[in-house]
Structure 1
Amino acid sequence: MSVRKACPVRPKNLVSRTFITLVAALTVLVAGLPVQPSYAAVRNAEDLLIVDCLLPGQLRRLGRQATYMTARRPIRTTQADCEIRGGEYVAYDRANYQTALRVWLEGAMAGDPEAQNNVGEIYAKGLGTAPDYAMAFQWFRKAADQGYGRAKINLGFLYEQGLGVQQDGAMALNLYREAAGIQDELMYASVVAVQLKAKDDTITALEGQVAEGEAERAALQQRIEQLQRELAQRRNALNAANAELAATRERLAEARAAQDDSLTRLLESQLVAQEEQIGAQRAQLAALERQTGGSAGAATMYAGVPTLEILDPVFVATRGRNTAVYRGGPGTRRIVGRITNPSLIQAVTVNGKPAELSSGGGFSAEVEVPAAGAQVQVAAVGKDGSEAALDFTLLPQAGSGPATPNGAPASDGTLPRGVNLGRYYAVVIGNNTYRDTNYATLTSASNDANAVAQLLRSRYGYETSLVLNGSRLEILTALNAMREKLKPEDNLLIYYAGHGEIDAQGQGYWVPSDGVAGNERSWISNAAISDILNTIAAKHVMVVADSCYSGTMTRSAVPVFDASQPADKWAGWVKTMVDGRSRTALTSGGVMPVPDTGSGRHSYFARAFLNTLQDNNRLLEGQRLFREVSSSLALSALNSPVPQVPEYAPIRYAGHESGEFFFMPRGAGGTAGAP
């Protein structure tokens, strides 16, 4: 299939059109309203990238006597829109954190929570420098203290990962709850996973080697003592800097009260410098604490260690034994799970019986479940003798009929009365052919895109935009069209199938049909996509990528309905999730390459995604879609040359606050809000 090329439309009379636009812009500015140009001169793909734009102040009239100019206003918009409105900007691919800070810092220091969150994201991204998580933490906390939901999500992620602050999973969970407005009866739940650790006999065997390491241990002890002394010095320096910062703030307040503008600007500069100094000291302090064992996180402590995870059924949090409740009655119930790094695993058993382990780490087993429930133990043994075991109770939901093989929900998938999901749109992208011969021609990406677009349109009532073998400009144009078109009550799904790249810093990219191997500027970065999603007005956006997408947070940041709750709780949970703003990504393989074919005309992931949506007859939330796709892949991709390990999580820096993405097939009941 040939590559479709789009050319910008040139106006016949550029001078007269420009004059009319300028007159209209000046008229609106005098009236005190923001400029909304009827068109933007898009010359190339860079014009459609999102920038931090500082708009000119508005000219306002007070009565008949006074005319004044308001302060300049920071916004995030496209480069072309910023230009036509006379704004000042520096594009992300040419920016550093200092130029980006210049746009938002004034508002942040004045107490605007959105600006404070944006400043925190600038520090967390790095923008040309290493991320400064300590400074990001300070600004996220300022915005979160004012109740700003996005900042709470960002702050929770820092606590969960131990970035710029001591790792605290409980604090992260509380921040996620607060951001979503979730009450006690509604829960956040991630996967239930256990890590394989060395057995006692392995540890005993190693005891004979202790004597050989005595000298090294003594040296390490001396190093720890030295680090602790340095840590105490850093803490004293940090306390002194905090005291100096407090004094500067007092002087700044006095200067503002005296309306001394020159002194105020001087003190504001000093305040920013001192906060940056404190942020650097906090980062050094956190690094020293990690070296002395003060805040070592489990994520780094057991890096590369295999984990055992149950995908289906879904666990719920209880005060006693781990419990999995499924909708269905007594009978045979299938358990589906997966193991990371399956090449390191010797065997997996379910209640003592061997379970076949696929090359991708998936496994399954059937368990007979009586009315009173069944005790289940899933165990894995590593080739090095390490082991992990997960014990839980499998319970049928009270009052349910016979169990179904896949544990399908019985009755709570209806759309609650009074809830309107809004209209649904989709941009579906499938790239098979590439101009650069370094990229192999794919066989299933276009098939996947066509099938997804058709299914969303016919079964779910989406208004779809299909882009096949799209260039960089074509793909960005399709996304920008949604940015200009969608309203807050709308929903947007973006599906991408094609080649993906990851650079040395872990940044992911989609490769358009005109992408050049080794040239990052010819690709579309996940950061650029996240920026576009941040400026789209639609309340709920989901990216489904049959390629890498490394801009996600963590699955534990997504709220999940507790299957053990009474049916009347379903309506409250759905309403909470519909009211929240969400930006989530469902990906086919994390940062790993994914196979192009394997399931007929479609990739393994696309086939699982299509089957799940085709078979669905209820209100389906993103988390359940992820679990069903993951379960399907764990069973179907047994012969896949590359492990299929899907991921589902909020997208970082895309404006995620809370909420979920929902799918509602036509004729399933309720108000789906098809366009």
Structure 2
Amino acid sequence: MTSPSTCPVRARLFVVASVFGLTVSAGLPAGAPQAAVRNAEDLLIVDCLLPGQLRKLGRQATYLTARRPVRTTQADCEIRGGEYVAYDRANYQTALKVWLEGAMAGDPEAQNNVGEIYAKGLGTEPDYGMAFQWFRKAADQGYGRAKINLGYLYEQGLGVQKDPAMALNLYREASGIQDALMYASVVQVELRARDERISGLEQQVREGEAESARLREQVQQLQRELAQRRAALQQAQRELVDTRNRLAEARQAQDDDLTRLLENQLLAQEEQLNAQRTQLAALERRAGGAGGGLYSSPMLEILDPVFVAARGRNTAVYPGGPGTRKVVGRVTAPHLVSRIEVNGRQVELTPNGGFSAEIEVPAGGTQVSVVAVDSAGDRAELQFNLLPQASGPAAVAAPAATGELPRGVKLGRYHAVVIGNNAYRDAAFPTLQSAANDASAVADLLRRRYGYQVELVLNGSRLEILTALDAMRKKLGPEDNLLVYYAGHGEIDGEGRGYWVPSDGAANASNTWISNAAVSDILDTMPARHVLVVADSCYSGTLSRTSVPTFDPAEADRGKWDAWVKAVAKGRSRTVLSSGGVMPVPDAGSGRHSYFARAFLNVLQDNNRLMPGQRLFQEVSTALALAAIDSPLPQVPEYAPIRYAGHESGDFLFLPAGRTAATGP
């Protein structure tokens, strides 16, 4: 494995799981002996092939059933006499051995698992062609998770010709929602004006080939620069550790002059190291890593007011009457955008990609035009009508209907494991200032305002963190909800895999960290209906945002809202709200909290209604765009399903304690 490079200076993770009636049994039967946990690896999820059961037919005949595949912990597989390959040594041949027999026999779950094995490319490059074939077999039998996976292949053009319409149809089928269903929670406009000016297929091909050659050269140049930056970063880390060791020796020898000299030197080295981390992450982003690259165009989106640009409805309705209204938006890859104009007036574009403008809205509404111009002079324009609530019949129903919990929908009990790591044993990981503060504040808010039963873990080791997750995996019942919050360092390796760093994690040793893939596997085996991961860090492996259904406010009435909430509450979902790709994030910046944590806390504190995860994403994004203007590092939140964590449909629903179902018709 290539040498890892630091992902965020600071990472946070928050997971919410909600169970509405689905029981997934991956562990031991009730009352069975529990496996002894010897180390953290015993708690990682493996593909396990259990031995067959000895059964008796009448008084005369006995027979042995076929071996049974399950996904469970390594310790559980051992005590049940199963065959497995440990997580870190897994490859597609051994994983296929567990599931292929069931897939060949027509089991849709096994067929989907085989497809995911090929799509993951365990120990080899992904084979999307084979993944497509197995996903199709499972989807044809109505298996929702396979429909989502198949839709992603169609949307991205992996192993099959790209077909966005087919992808949306598969997402819609998986959700089980037919009316008032949208698949874009915000408006996004890609800067493609140059493509529209190309006339003729031959000219398009020629220019495309020239562009590809230019981009390949840029990528090669960036890769060379990345290698140099990584080497410099590793050298700086070694020098930092050496300085810390010398400083400890000087303090022990009570050499005050040398101690002051080394303290100043240490401070300078830490500042230099953080600067190198930021530059390296920026280069990785430009070179095509998660979160955007040379092949990605900037995207323009409106965060507030919220509206859905689909089916020809480019209209936003906001509560309140005529007057001044602030429009808030953002662009991805702001370094590629030269200016933003709102109604013909240029507005300030922050380093985070955020912008805002004051708009005078009369009683009859007004049209808003937002124009983004990239560095090449290409333009993208987004137009929509902005209406006060008092204007138009469509505006009246939306606020009254949305936000209520329909009668008959039970959200169950809530539990939480909140983890905050400030102190690290390895000197290569500097002590954090706000991680424990953020974790403590989140724990208090969840306990006080949302009625969670909270377990707070500070400076947790790898074993302690995995033990806490595994305990909840065993404890959860079909009516429970789970929330897991992680605050601490995060890393990403040379292949783009993200990790949490526990308090006992060692530098340049990913086997001592907790990978995002391992977390996704744990979430997949949890007996939960809805899981939401909120990560102020890199979290790779997400699907596109279009595969999460959301409610169209233009069609909001009580009946449609109630039907939508009931369908979303029943659908199994695994989604992630991240603070923005692989860029480093500041440890502090908004008082005692990070920008992202402060925005997240404020949104949940102010919430007085039933709030879907999509809406949480919108409000956090808006708060960050306005509050993190002075942040030295850009943060562009993202919201999408997690790949290979069991996502099928639906969305997570927040509800403050004490709120009950609607009493209306």
- Match among 360, 365, 374 for residue 368 of structure 1: 360
Q: Is 1:573 aligned to 2:568, yes or no?
A: no
Q: How many angstroms apart in 2 are the aligned matches of 1:102 and 1:528?
A: 20
C-alpha change, 1:513 and 1:140, in structure 2 (3 Å) is same
What does residue 298 of structure 2 align with? Answer: 306
User: Is residue 61–residue 68 contact of structure 1 (8 Å, CA) maintained in 2?
Assistant: yes
- Match among 453, 470, 488 for residue 498 of structure 1: 488
Higher relative contact order (CA 8 A, sep 6+): 2
Q: Is 1:563 aligned to 2:558, yes or no?
A: no
Q: How many angstroms apart in 2 are the aligned matches of 1:141 and 1:488?
A: 30
Which deviates further from its counterpart, 56-65 or 100-109?
A: 56-65
Cα offset, 1:491, TM superposition: 1.9
C-alpha change, 1:35 and 1:625, in structure 2 (3 Å) is closer
User: Is residue 500–residue 510 contact of structure 1 (8 Å, CA) maintained in 2?
Assistant: yes
Cα offset, 1:301, TM superposition: 11
User: Is residue 342–residue 359 contact of structure 1 (8 Å, CA) maintained in 2?
Assistant: yes
Cα offset, 1:559, TM superposition: 1.0
User: Is residue 337–residue 374 contact of structure 2 (8 Å, CA) maintained in 1?
Assistant: yes
What does residue 462 of structure 2 align with? Answer: 472
Partner amino acid for 1:570?
A: W
User: Is residue 492–residue 542 contact of structure 1 (8 Å, CA) maintained in 2?
Assistant: no
What does residue 166 of structure 1 align with? Answer: 161
Q: Is 1:315 aligned to 2:310, yes or no?
A: no
What does residue 288 of structure 2 align with? Answer: none
User: Is residue 324–residue 361 contact of structure 2 (8 Å, CA) maintained in 1?
Assistant: yes
SS of corresponding position for 2:605: helix
- Match among 610, 628, 641 for residue 637 of structure 1: 628
User: Is residue 185–residue 308 contact of structure 2 (8 Å, CA) maintained in 1?
Assistant: no
CA RMSD, 1 decimal: 2.9
SS of corresponding position for 1:176: helix
Q: How many angstroms apart in 2 are the aligned matches of 1:633 and 1:649?
A: 18
What does residue 279 of structure 1 align with? Answer: none
User: Is residue 156–residue 176 contact of structure 1 (8 Å, CA) maintained in 2?
Assistant: yes
Which deviates further from its counterpart, 585-594 or 507-516?
A: 585-594
Cα offset, 1:502, TM superposition: 1.3
What does residue 577 of structure 2 align with? Answer: 586
| Residue deviations 1:10-54 (CA, integer Å, cap 9, x gap) | xxxxxxxxxxxxxxxxxxxxxxx9576332210000000000111
C-alpha change, 1:319 and 1:85, in structure 2 (3 Å) is closer
What does residue 658 of structure 1 align with? Answer: 649
Query: Which protein has the larger Cα radius of gyration, Structure 1 or Structure 2?
Result: 1
Cα offset, 1:341, TM superposition: 1.9
What does residue 134 of structure 2 align with? Answer: 139
C-alpha change, 1:38 and 1:377, in structure 2 (3 Å) is same
| Residue deviations 1:330-375 (CA, integer Å, cap 9, x gap) | 4333211101222232221111122221110101112223343321
Corresponding pairs, count: 551
What does residue 618 of structure 2 align with? Answer: 627
SS of corresponding position for 1:192: coil
Structure 1 length-normalised TM? 0.77
User: Is residue 324–residue 393 contact of structure 1 (8 Å, CA) maintained in 2?
Assistant: yes
Which deviates further from its counterpart, 531-540 or 485-494?
A: 485-494
Q: Is 1:122 aligned to 2:117, yes or no?
A: yes
Q: How many angstroms apart in 2 are the aligned matches of 1:460 and 1:300?
A: 35
User: Is residue 426–residue 492 contact of structure 1 (8 Å, CA) maintained in 2?
Assistant: yes
- Match among 44, 51, 57 for residue 39 of structure 2: 44
* 1:200-239 equivalences in 2 (<5 Å): none
What does residue 489 of structure 1 align with? Answer: 479
Partner amino acid for 1:315?
A: F
| Residue deviations 1:517-571 (CA, integer Å, cap 9, x gap) | 1111111111100100010001111111122111321111111111111321111
SS of corresponding position for 2:555: coil
C-alpha change, 1:437 and 1:369, in structure 2 (3 Å) is same
- Match among 358, 381, 386 for residue 389 of structure 1: 381
Q: How many angstroms apart in 1 are the aligned matches of 2:613 and 2:174?
A: 18
Q: How many angstroms apart in 2 are the aligned matches of 1:162 and 1:214?
A: 22
What does residue 71 of structure 2 align with? Answer: 76
Q: How many angstroms apart in 2 are the aligned matches of 1:583 and 1:365?
A: 35
What does residue 215 of structure 2 align with? Answer: none
Partner amino acid for 1:160?
A: E
Q: Is 1:608 aligned to 2:599, yes or no?
A: yes
What does residue 221 of structure 2 align with? Answer: none
What does residue 225 of structure 1 align with? Answer: none
C-alpha change, 1:315 and 1:448, in structure 2 (3 Å) is same
Which deviates further from its counterpart, 629-638 or 160-169?
A: 160-169
Cα offset, 1:504, TM superposition: 2.0
Q: Is 1:88 aligned to 2:78, yes or no?
A: no
Which deviates further from its counterpart, 543-552 or 315-324?
A: 315-324
C-alpha change, 1:200 and 1:149, in structure 2 (3 Å) is closer
Cα offset, 1:199, TM superposition: 6.1
SS of corresponding position for 2:357: strand
SS of corresponding position for 2:329: strand
Cα offset, 1:490, TM superposition: 2.0
Cα offset, 1:383, TM superposition: 3.3
User: Is residue 401–residue 561 contact of structure 2 (8 Å, CA) maintained in 1?
Assistant: no
Q: Is 1:538 aligned to 2:533, yes or no?
A: no
- Match among 162, 171, 188 for residue 183 of structure 2: 188
C-alpha change, 1:396 and 1:49, in structure 2 (3 Å) is same
SS of corresponding position for 1:88: coil
Q: How many angstroms apart in 2 are the aligned matches of 1:356 and 1:137?
A: 45
Q: Is 1:176 aligned to 2:167, yes or no?
A: no
- Listed as ranges, the gaps of 5+ residues in structure 2 are 1-27, 213-290
User: Is residue 490–residue 539 contact of structure 1 (8 Å, CA) maintained in 2?
Assistant: no
Q: How many angstroms apart in 2 are the aligned matches of 1:92 and 1:201?
A: 48
- Match among 337, 340, 345 for residue 337 of structure 2: 345
User: Is residue 397–residue 564 contact of structure 1 (8 Å, CA) maintained in 2?
Assistant: no
User: Is residue 508–residue 551 contact of structure 1 (8 Å, CA) maintained in 2?
Assistant: no
Q: How many angstroms apart in 1 are the aligned matches of 2:208 and 2:327?
A: 47
Partner amino acid for 1:87?
A: G
Cα offset, 1:666, TM superposition: 1.6
User: Is residue 196–residue 306 contact of structure 1 (8 Å, CA) maintained in 2?
Assistant: yes
SS of corresponding position for 2:554: coil
What does residue 234 of structure 2 align with? Answer: none
Cα offset, 1:323, TM superposition: 2.5
User: Is residue 469–residue 513 contact of structure 1 (8 Å, CA) maintained in 2?
Assistant: yes
Cα offset, 1:398, TM superposition: 5.9
Which deviates further from its counterpart, 596-605 or 366-375?
A: 366-375
How many percent identity over aligned positions? Answer: 73
User: Is residue 424–residue 504 contact of structure 2 (8 Å, CA) maintained in 1?
Assistant: yes
Which deviates further from its counterpart, 336-345 or 90-99?
A: 336-345
| Residue deviations 1:295-343 (CA, integer Å, cap 9, x gap) | xxxx999723222111222232444362333444443332111012222
User: Is residue 490–residue 540 contact of structure 1 (8 Å, CA) maintained in 2?
Assistant: no
User: Is residue 316–residue 325 contact of structure 1 (8 Å, CA) maintained in 2?
Assistant: no
- Listed as ranges, the gaps of 5+ residues in structure 1 are 1-32, 205-209, 221-298
SS of corresponding position for 2:84: strand
User: Is residue 427–residue 495 contact of structure 1 (8 Å, CA) maintained in 2?
Assistant: yes
C-alpha change, 1:367 and 1:79, in structure 2 (3 Å) is same
Q: How many angstroms apart in 2 are the aligned matches of 1:626 and 1:79?
A: 35
C-alpha change, 1:409 and 1:332, in structure 2 (3 Å) is farther
C-alpha change, 1:329 and 1:489, in structure 2 (3 Å) is farther
- Match among 150, 154, 157 for residue 155 of structure 1: 150
Cα offset, 1:397, TM superposition: 4.4
Cα offset, 1:135, TM superposition: 0.6
What does residue 523 of structure 1 align with? Answer: 513
Q: How many angstroms apart in 2 are the aligned matches of 1:324 and 1:482?
A: 41
- Match among 543, 549, 559 for residue 553 of structure 1: 543
* 1:451-466 equivalences in 2 (<5 Å): 451-466=441-456
C-alpha change, 1:321 and 1:570, in structure 2 (3 Å) is closer
What does residue 377 of structure 1 align with? Answer: 369
* 1:48-63 equivalences in 2 (<5 Å): 48-63=43-58
SS of corresponding position for 1:90: coil
User: Is residue 364–residue 391 contact of structure 2 (8 Å, CA) maintained in 1?
Assistant: no
| Residue deviations 1:244-276 (CA, integer Å, cap 9, x gap) | xxxxxxxxxxxxxxxxxxxxxxxxxxxxxxxxx
Partner amino acid for 1:83?
A: E
Cα offset, 1:125, TM superposition: 0.7
